[in-house]
Amino acid sequence: MTALIDDILQRAADDGRISDEEALLLYTDAPFHALGEAADAVRRRRYPQGIVTYLIDRNINYTNVCVTACKFCAFYRAPKHAEGWSHDLDEILRRCGEAVELGATQVMLQGGHHPDYGVDYYVELFSAVKRAYPQLVIHSIGPSEILHMAKVSGVSIEDAIKAIKEAGLDSIAGAGAEMLPDRPRKAIAPLKESGARWLEVMEVAHHLGVESTATMMMGTGETNAERIEHMRMIRDVQDRTGGFRAFIPWTYQPENNHLKGRTQATSLEYLRLIAVARLFFHNVAHLQASWLTTGKDVGQLALHMGVDDLGSIMLEENVISSAGAKHRSNLMDLVHLIRSAGRIPAQRDTLYNHLTVHWTPDDDPTDDRVTSHFSSIVNV
Ligand code: SF4
């Protein structure tokens, strides 16, 4: 067994392709240090300068009204619920303006599946943001929102994507992937589209020139094999499109929702998954650690397990914080976290171009206004 694991680790560290069975064996049985060392070897070869990137953006939730009622979600309110809200366009533009003022390069517009929001709503939203702030990249919504708007408007997925791309959408967030295999997905989000449908929307978008990221929410009772299956489903699409820029696993937050009693993934499970993801996704460029859900310590450890990106300093985040993620940070903390891991921090844009590399501590940012109200999440 040890020789077999060594062989798989070596092949993966050399950028060879490993099967899902091999990935599962590494996940469950490989020694922790050997797993991390192999993943870090891949990271070093791909990013030999030792740079770890971060992004400044703002996540603006436009409505919490949603008809999909995912059991793990503490954010949504059913239509007509007294605590339901929607922000008007002026408020959304005001928040975009604040983000630009604080140096954000990207906005993530995310929200519930409002029964009245069809393609026209998103066309108006994206075109208004682009008109007012052409410098802001709109990396927003996800396949679930696209399916919802297409259904409300009675148009095809393709036509919906073309319309919102034309209006200003630059790329699609990896939101809503949760767990893609049928069994765990039905258990936590029975009204959401299937994993296959989520991937189909991504594939259509990629073919239309709209790239995206991919996420995974772990810790709601799925098996180890289902975690690997989730990654295989994404890798298969990536083989055909090359449109996923990054893989971003994060841990389910167990408060204030209908899945009480389920455990979160442990830090060790998360770190092992991160390392296996780096070895398995030979065809995905970037691997991001979610320090909002795991905490900064685990986020820093992930930098030694193959991670090259720490996602965003977010200026607003309501969805995951509603479910209990309480980690906070500001830009200076995040940069310090990267530097004290022995890496070089760099601010990036949505396309992973380096905007500012902080080669020495003298180059570090000093703007402590850039902070998350609740902290950062997956910049999906
Ligand atoms: S996760 Fe998204 S789709 Fe599911 S209930 Fe929450 S807001 Fe609605």
Provide the CATH number for the domain around residue 62.
Answer: 3.20.20.70
User: Do residues 379 and 321 make contact, with C-beta atoms less than 8 angstroms apart?
Assistant: no
Spacing, Cα 144 to ligand 1 middle (Å): 9
Q: What's the domain range around 214?
A: 52-363
Q: Please indicate whether residue 112, judged by its CB atom, sits closer than 6 Å to ligand 1.
A: yes
Backbone angles phi, psi at 280, to 5 degrees: -80, -40
Q: Please indicate whether residue 271, judged by its CB atom, sits closer than 6 Å to ligand 1.
A: no
55 CB neighbour count, 10 Å cutoff: 24
Q: 172 lies in a domain?
A: yes
* pLDDT of 366 strictly over 80: no
134 CB neighbour count, 10 Å cutoff: 9
Ligand 1 atom closest to the CA of 64, numbered from 1? 7
Q: 20 lies in a domain?
A: no
Residue 181: name the closest of 221, 123, 142, 150 by CA: 221
Among 14-28, 196-210, 323-337, the minimum mean pLDDT is found in 323-337
For atom 7 of ligand 1, the residue with the nearest CA is 112
Among 224-233, 259-268, 342-351, the minimum mean pLDDT is found in 259-268
The rounded distance, in Å, linking the Cα atoms of 40 and 38 is: 5
Confidence of residue 136 (pLDDT cuts 50, 70, 90): very high
Q: Please indicate whether residue 113, judged by its CB atom, sits closer than 6 Å to ligand 1.
A: yes
The rounded distance, in Å, linking the Cα atoms of 148 and 226 is: 26
Q: 213 lies in a domain?
A: yes
User: Do residues 260 and 226 make contact, with C-beta atoms less than 8 angstroms apart?
Assistant: no
Q: 378 lies in a domain?
A: no
Among 137-151, 176-190, 297-311, 315-329, the minimum mean pLDDT is found in 315-329
Count of alpha carbons within 13 angstroms of residue 272, beta-carbon side: 19
List pLDDT tens digits, range 30-82: 999 999 999 999 999 999 999 999 999 999 999 999 999 999 898 999 999 99
Q: Please indicate whether residue 75, judged by its CB atom, sits closer than 6 Å to ligand 1.
A: yes
Q: Got the DSSP string for 319-357?
A: HHHHTT-----BHHHHHHHHHHTT-EEEEE-TT--EEEE
Q: 3 lies in a domain?
A: no
pTM above the 0.85 mark? Answer: yes
Determine which helix (DSSP H) or strand (DSSP E) holds 169, and give its type and residue range.
none
Spacing, Cα 230 to ligand 1 middle (Å): 19
Q: Please indicate whether residue 76, judged by its CB atom, sits closer than 6 Å to ligand 1.
A: yes
The rounded distance, in Å, linking the Cα atoms of 307 and 329 is: 19
Q: 368 lies in a domain?
A: no
Query: Sign (positive/negative) of CA torsion 97, 101, 105, 109?
Result: negative
CB-count exposure of residue 268 (10 Å: 0-12, 13-18, 19+): exposed
Ligand 1 atom closest to the CA of 69, numbered from 1? 5
Token pair for 269 = 């499970």
Give me the number of domains the chain comprises.
1
Q: Please indicate whether residue 144, judged by its CB atom, sits closer than 6 Å to ligand 1.
A: yes
Q: 14 lies in a domain?
A: no
Predicted local distance difference test score (pLDDT) of residue 379: 35
Predicted local distance difference test score (pLDDT) of residue 258: 78
List pLDDT tens digits, range 194-210: 999 999 999 999 999 99
Predicted local distance difference test score (pLDDT) of residue 328: 57
The rounded distance, in Å, linking the Cα atoms of 377 and 380 is: 8
The rounded distance, in Å, linking the Cα atoms of 179 and 190 is: 12
CB-count exposure of residue 258 (10 Å: 0-12, 13-18, 19+): exposed
The rounded distance, in Å, linking the Cα atoms of 232 and 330 is: 35
Q: 60 lies in a domain?
A: yes
DSSP conformation class of 362: G
Q: Please indicate whether residue 272, judged by its CB atom, sits closer than 6 Å to ligand 1.
A: no
Chain centroid offset of residue 16 CA? 25
Spacing, Cα 76 to ligand 1 middle (Å): 6
* pLDDT of 373 strictly over 50: no
The rounded distance, in Å, linking the Cα atoms of 256 and 376 is: 19
The rounded distance, in Å, linking the Cα atoms of 289 and 214 is: 13
